[in-house]
């Protein structure tokens, strides 16, 4: 179930239409944009589940928070790599150190890597889970800063094409309909990839919690 959408997504990205000025490298749009949107989504879910875990103390919320963060980290990494390659083709460089959006995305990745690392500080999961939840909750602040960075600060990065005020208010995205359709299908497929991937991670996390709460279940094996 995981590899189906993944494969179709890669095929669509490879065969999809591209911007005539930028050339075939602009197909990275179908990788770069959906993956960063899913990273936004995943971290938002991590935020919600971390909050629920702190309030209700139910391990199932913690498992969901971790699962989403893991998937989010993978997608943030993908978006950075795809963006970097795309930057090489259009801007003429892999990375622009002075650029707000690029740096903020790198920090976003580091924070959630930190979130995942913070869970390994101690074997006492209940304790680390509580502490990690704070990172999961406060980490969300970065998403709006990141998203509006291209509007607030001058950047080499282009502004949003879909999630921009103009597009949302006029309902008319600044791209050809075939590119837009391919992009939206990619978003749908990547969402599916995220759903299945985070489910996989959630099962692993649930297992770890189960071993922690019922030590005997492990002894049986």
Give the interface with another protein as residue ranges (CB under 8 A): 17-23, 26, 29, 89-93, 96, 98-100, 103-104, 107, 111, 114, 118, 121, 127, 131, 134-135, 138-139, 141-142, 145, 149, 152-156, 158-161, 164, 166, 170, 172, 174-179
Q: Which is nearer to another protein, 26 or 198 (CB)?
A: 26
Shortest CB 83 distance to another protein, Å: 12
Dihedral through CA 189, CA 96, CA 73, CA 81, nearest 10? 50
Shortest CB 75 distance to another protein, Å: 19
Backbone phi, psi, residue 123, to 5° = -80, -15
Nearest one of 109, 171, 103 to 139, comparing CA atoms? 109
Shortest CB 45 distance to another protein, Å: 19
Q: Which is nearer to another protein, 73 or 197 (CB)?
A: 73
Q: Which is nearer to another protein, 91 or 212 (CB)?
A: 91
Q: Which is nearer to another protein, 1 or 151 (CB)?
A: 151
d(CA 193, CA 203): 16
Q: Which is nearer to another protein, 176 or 217 (CB)?
A: 176
Give the SS3 label for residue 108: helix
Q: Which is nearer to another protein, 20 or 123 (CB)?
A: 20
| Residue 115 and residue 69 in contact, taking contact as beta carbons nearer than 8 Å | yes
| Alpha helix (H) residue ranges in 57-164 | 59-90, 100-118, 125-138, 142-152
123: left (phi over 0), alpha (psi -120 to 50) or beta: alpha
Shortest CB 41 distance to another protein, Å: 20
CA triple 19-21-26, angle to 5 deg: 40
Shortest CB 203 distance to another protein, Å: 27
Shortest CB 98 distance to another protein, Å: 5
């Amino acid at each position: 179930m995981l590899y189906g959408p993944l494969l179709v997504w890669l095929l669509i990205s490879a065969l999809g239409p591209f911007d005539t000025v930028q050339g075939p490298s602009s197909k990275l749009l179908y990788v770069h944009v959906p993956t960063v949107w899913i990273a936004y989504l995943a971290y938002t879910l991590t935020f919600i589940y971390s909050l629920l875990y702190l309030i209700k103390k139910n391990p199932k919320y913690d498992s969901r928070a971790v699962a989403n963060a893991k998937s989010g980290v993978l997608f943030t990494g993908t978006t950075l790599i795809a963006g970097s390659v795309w930057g090489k083709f259009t801007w003429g460089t892999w990375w622009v150190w002075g650029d707000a959006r690029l740096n903020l995305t790198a920090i976003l990745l580091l924070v959630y890597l930190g979130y995942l690392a913070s869970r390994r500080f101690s074997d006492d999961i209940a304790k680390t889970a509580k502490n990690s939840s704070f990172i999961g909750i406060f980490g969300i602040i970065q998403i709006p800063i990141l998203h509006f960075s291209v509007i607030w600060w001058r950047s080499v990065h282009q502004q949003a094409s879909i999630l921009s005020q103009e597009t949302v208010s006029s309902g008319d995205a600044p791209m050809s309909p075939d590119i837009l359709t391919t992009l939206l299908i990619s978003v749908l497929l990547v969402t599916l990839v995220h759903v299945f991937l985070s489910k996989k991670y959630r099962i692993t996390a649930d297992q770890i919690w189960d071993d922690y709460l019922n030590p005997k279940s492990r002894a049986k094996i």
